[in-house]
Amino acid sequence: MVTKYGLTRNQIGKDTINFPDWQEFEKSILRDPEVHSIDRSRVFRFLSSAAFRIYRKVGNAIGIKPPYEIPIASHSDVRIAILGGPAFRRCPDFILGGKKVAYLYDPTPPWVTYDNIAKFVEDAGISVLFVPHPIFRDRIQPLLSGCKVFYLPEGVDPGEYHAQENKSIDLLTFGRKFPEYHQALLKGLPNTIKYHHGWLDTREDLINSLGRAKIVINFPRSFTEPELDVEMATMRYFQSMASKALVLGHCPPLLKEVFGYDPIISVDHSNPCEQVIDLLNHYSNYQELIEKNYQTLTSHHTFWHRWLAMKEILMDESDDRNAARSQH
């Protein structure tokens, strides 16, 4: 029997730079002919979110146990949501009964606590949760009784990025920065080096800037947000490699683990400007590493590979449940 997979589309957060990242994962999943897109109307999304909030509030008050869903089964055997946070309006189709699966980006304090995540997962009836770091898995799993948590690293769709032959940006950083390092570069780099820094407001700006950059600076969020104690290998690392840029910064242990080697040039904090100048002067020496990173990425760490891994886990989960039923 073929499993019918449905991908419930996230429509919240379109004005953020992260929304296209979630869409990129969704588009990769929809390449699978066994997956169909679940696009709900604005009215459905509003009503389902309102129903969930009311049902959840009343249920908590009078002791009704979750999940808080209406007794109508979905047409899909398994529904999947790519979530940029534990908010029901990102997965409105979960108001219907049936098997629910989610991949949750950034399950990190202080924006959300592990207790918040566990509460959302149980109330929404999610039975399989994927998170991008094994530490998150190990911290969330003990809080859940009806859901299995699996680690699945982030990825990228290389086809979304374009390495330009004319690399007109010498050094690129965007978004959050490691302040001490950034200030040292601003003060010490000669004007002849094109150092682009600041926010990239649109997806087009992001792809274009990465494609034009020779070197991209990447540090984990934990370097700039001390309250986060997990060194995450985020999409920004993968996006830089997909754009065939040399990545300079700090390599999270997880990134080294999934690649099988260290794909990052470690920052020399004692001589930051001298290091950048030397890298640019000998840039051709690093083409082999740039190409190796790109080939490793495209061969093993795309969103398509992540979806195939998710699907295999879901199939194993289904086989285990069927075997358990047959024993009874």
Sketch out the chain's domains with CATH numbers: 5-155+302-327 (3.40.50), 158-300 (3.40.50.2000)
Percentage of the chain lying above the pLDDT 90 cut: 77
DSSP class per residue in 133-150:
SHHHHHHHGGG-SS-EEE
pLDDT of residue 225: 78
Average pLDDT over residues 53-62: 93
Alpha carbons 68 and 97: distance in angstroms, whole number: 9
Average model confidence (pLDDT) across the chain = 92
**161-195 core/surface letters (b: 16 or more CB in 10 A; e: else):** bebeeebebbbbbbeebbeebbebbeeebeeebbb
Among 36, 110, 109, CA closest to 74: 36
**Cα distance from N-terminal residue to C-terminal residue, the chain:** 21
Q: Helical H runs in the chain?
A: 19-29, 42-62, 114-124, 134-140, 179-188, 203-212, 221-224, 235-242, 253-259, 272-281, 287-300, 303-327
Average pLDDT over residues 114-127: 96
pLDDT of residue 1: 60
Alpha carbons 106 and 143: distance in angstroms, whole number: 18
pLDDT of residue 79: 97
pLDDT of residue 111 exceeding 80: no
pLDDT of residue 226 exceeding 90: no
pLDDT of residue 320: 59
Among 45, 70, 46, 67, CA closest to 56: 67
At 3, is the pLDDT very low, low, confident or very high (cuts 50, 70, 90)? confident
Alpha carbons 207 and 216: distance in angstroms, whole number: 12
Alpha carbons 50 and 43: distance in angstroms, whole number: 11
pLDDT of residue 73: 86
User: What pLDDT, in 10s, does the model give residues 142-194?
Assistant: 999 999 999 999 999 999 999 988 899 999 998 777 888 999 999 999 999 99
pLDDT of residue 328 exceeding 90: no
Please report which helix (H) or strand (E) contains residue 95, including its range. none
Please give the residue that has the higher pLDDT: either 90 or 201: 90
Residue 55 amino acid letter:
Y
Query: Do 168 and 211 touch, CB atoms closer than 8 A?
Result: no
pLDDT of residue 76: 94
Report helix, strand or coil for 299.
Answer: helix
**267-276 core/surface letters (b: 16 or more CB in 10 A; e: else):** beeeebbebb
Report helix, strand or coil for 215.
Answer: strand
Alpha carbons 130 and 147: distance in angstroms, whole number: 10
